[in-house]
Amino acid sequence: MNTALTPSQVSLPPASGAWREGDPPGHRQWHERERPLRLEAGGELPGLRIAFETWGRLAPDRSNAVLVLHALTGDSHVAGTAGPGHPTPGWWDGLVGAGRALDTDRWFVVAPNVLGGCQGSTGPSSPRPDGGAWGGGFPFLTQRDQVAAEADLADALGIDRWALTVGGSMGGMRALEWAVSYPERTNALLLLATTAAASAEQIALADIQSHAIRSDPHWHSGHYHGTGDAPHAGLGLARRLAHVTYRSEAELQVRFGRSAQGTEDPWSGGRYTVGSYLDHHAAKLVRRFDAGSYVVLSEAMNSHDIGRGRGGVRAALNRVTARTLVAGVDSDRLYPSFQQAELAAGISTADDLRLIESPHGHDGFLIEVDQVAALVDELVPGSDGLLP
């Protein structure tokens, strides 16, 4: 199984895989916020923009809007093909579209690129007001800051209340934050493979990834944009570690075992097939993502604690009024199902915990589209496409 990209097969990646002005816009739209956004950690972000994509048509009474929130290295391109402006196909393409669970003949689906990201929204690769990229000077963000920016987008679209808010992993953190910060604006809630607060182990794993990036000699304290250098090695190491946590041990054993990569000899500097697999995913990410965004978003995930300043997790979950389903992935070792069980037990409007059956680990919420579609259908039934 030859999955690796070798230097002879590809050109040197750009210093950043971020979307830049002058790149094809693809299907993106933008919302500009000209006034400062006050940040939870202090200070403010002086103006920002959020890139987003939409599918379907907003109903005259604005009752059919669905918010889809992406995970760490996702973006606004939930559905559709790869092409100019979109380096990869939609990451939930099987879920969004005519006749699918999020039927665009019924729903108006909105997917923003998260604040701090790198695919059109303001982040470290974006220009500062005084010129040049933010780089290492980009402020610390929390999930609450990111949701506040998304609420501003909803205001601009004229959406007072989401019929459904759905997200997995980091997207699930923001979906939960929506339901706690803005319960009156969240009608139904689908939380997938996420948690009420980042655990010590989750923080540790993300911290190692951030250290890998910051230890790259081309990091330049985050100010590498425009230098001609790039922390590709550090970002690649971060992706390798992360990807192992996204999949299950059983899947890796079945797919790769101890086999060598092609004719390579691991005892003489060659690779095992599983190492080649990780090389492949590292090479892909450095061509479509920005190392600075990876650090900023990882730190925002580590800050996630729905109970912070709210009297603890239990009190915060009591704020949720949305009809809720919570699902975990049975083979997830990064966000184990006991964390979703805590959410289901703590949200008074939630049904019993659901489990997505998958050999793929944490990534199961992205891969097992049919099972996720069944959860959507369960949560928002009705032939008219509106909540009963």
* Active site amino acids: 169, 332, 362
Phi, psi of 165 (to 5 degrees): -120, 130
Angle between helices 200-214 and 232-246 (to 10 degrees): 160
Structure letter (DSSP) for residue 128: P
- Give the list of residues 6+ apart from residue 204 with CB closer than 8 angstroms, or none: none
Are the CB atoms for 170 and 117 separated by under 8 Å? no
Are the CB atoms for 116 and 140 separated by under 8 Å? no
- Can you spell out the DSSP letters for 75-106? -S--SS--BTTBSS--TTTTTBSTTSSB-TTT
Are the CB atoms for 137 and 164 separated by under 8 Å? no
Residues 127/131/135/141 CA torsion (nearest 10 deg): -60
Counting Cβ atoms within 10 Å, is residue 309 exposed (0-12), middle (13-18) or buried (19+)? exposed
Q: Can you read off the two tokens belonging to residue 137?
A: 């000077």
Rounded CA gap, 87 and 106, in Å?
Answer: 28
Rounded CA gap, 178 and 156, in Å?
Answer: 17
**Helix intervals (H) in the chain:** 143-157, 170-181, 200-214, 232-246, 249-255, 273-286, 291-302, 313-317, 337-346, 364-367, 369-379
Rounded CA gap, 37 and 34, in Å?
Answer: 9
Rounded CA gap, 351 and 64, in Å?
Answer: 22
Nearest to 259 by CA among 243, 270, 247: 270
- Give the list of residues 6+ apart from residue 62 with CB closer than 8 angstroms, or none: 158, 159, 160, 161
**Helix intervals (H) in 268-368:** 273-286, 291-302, 313-317, 337-346, 364-367
